[in-house]
Chain A
C-alpha cells in the first residue's frame, strides 16, 4: 500500500499539463469583451432600423400635421377677427347699434 501510494505521489509530482498554445485566445477574449461592452447605439439602431424609422416617420408626420392644423386654425381666427373689425368700420348699422 505504501509502495503504491509513493508511486502515485511521484507520478503526480512529475505530472505537468502542457496544453497546446492557442494563438487566437487573446484575440478571442478581447473580441468577446468588445461585444459585451459595445455602447450598442449603432448596433441597436442597425438591428431595429425599420421599426425605428417607422416610429420616427409617424411621430414627425403627426407632429407636422398637428402644427399645420394649429396654424390654419390661427389663420382662420385671425381672418375672422379682422373681417369683423373691417366691417365694423364700414357698416353704419353696426356703428349705430354700438353708439349710445
Chain B
C-alpha cells in the first residue's frame, strides 16, 4: 500500500524529534564546552554552581596552592633522579632503599597536600556540591599516581 512509506516516514520524523529532545534535555553544554577547552575553572563554576565570589575564592586557593605544587614537583623530580642514579650505579642497596623511601614519603606528602587543597575548595561550595566534588576528585587522587600520566586528550590552554 502506498500509504505505508508515508506513515513510516512520519513516525521516523517523530522518532528523530524525540531522540533529539532526549539528547538535548540530558546533555550538559556548559560541561562539554569546559571539557573541550580544558578550562577547569569554568568546569568548577558550571558543574558545582559557583557564584562569582566563590569562583574568585577558588582561584585564589588554586593560585596559592600552585606554588607548593611546583615545589613538590621539583622535589619529586630531584629525588627520582637521585634514586635512578643509585639504581643504575648498582650501588649500596641500603642507600637505594632510603632513596625510595624518601621518594615515597614525598609522594605521600603530595597526596596529602592535594587532598587538603580539594577539601578547602569543597568547603567553599554548597554542602551538596562540595560532597559531589569530593566524591568525584578524592578517589582519583590516590589512583592518579599509580595510574601514571593520564592520556592528554584535552587541548589544554596552558
Contacts and interface: CB of A to CB of B under 8 A. Distances in A.
Interface size of A as a range: 35 or more
A65 B3 contact: no
B23 A67 contact: yes
A57 B92 CA distance: 75
Interface size of B as a range: 35 or more
A82 B31 contact: yes
A45 B11 CA distance: 13
Contacts of B3: 40-41, 44
Interface stretch (B82-90, B94-102, B122-130, B142-150): B142-150
A8 interface: no
Contact of B40 (A62, A82, A92, A96): A82
Contact of B27 (A56, A62, A75): A75
Interface in A39-71: 40-41, 44-45, 52, 55-56, 59-68, 70-71
Contacts of A62: 15
B136 interface: yes
Interface string B1-40: 1010011001110111111111111111001101110101
Given A56-B11, A96-B80, A75 B28 contact: yes
A65 B21 CA distance: 10
Contact of A78 (B28, B73, B111, B136): B28
Contacts of B145: 91, 93-94
Contacts of B150: 84, 87-88, 94
Contact of B16 (A63, A87, A89): A63
Interface of B: 1, 3, 6-7, 10-12, 14-28, 31-32, 34-36, 38, 40, 43-44, 47, 62, 65, 69-74, 76-77, 80, 107, 110-111, 114, 117-118, 136-137, 140-141, 144-145, 148-154, 156
Given A52-B7, A74-B32, 10 more contacts: A52-B11, A63-B22, A67-B19, A71-B24, A84-B154, A86-B44, A90-B69, A92-B70, A94-B145, A96-B73
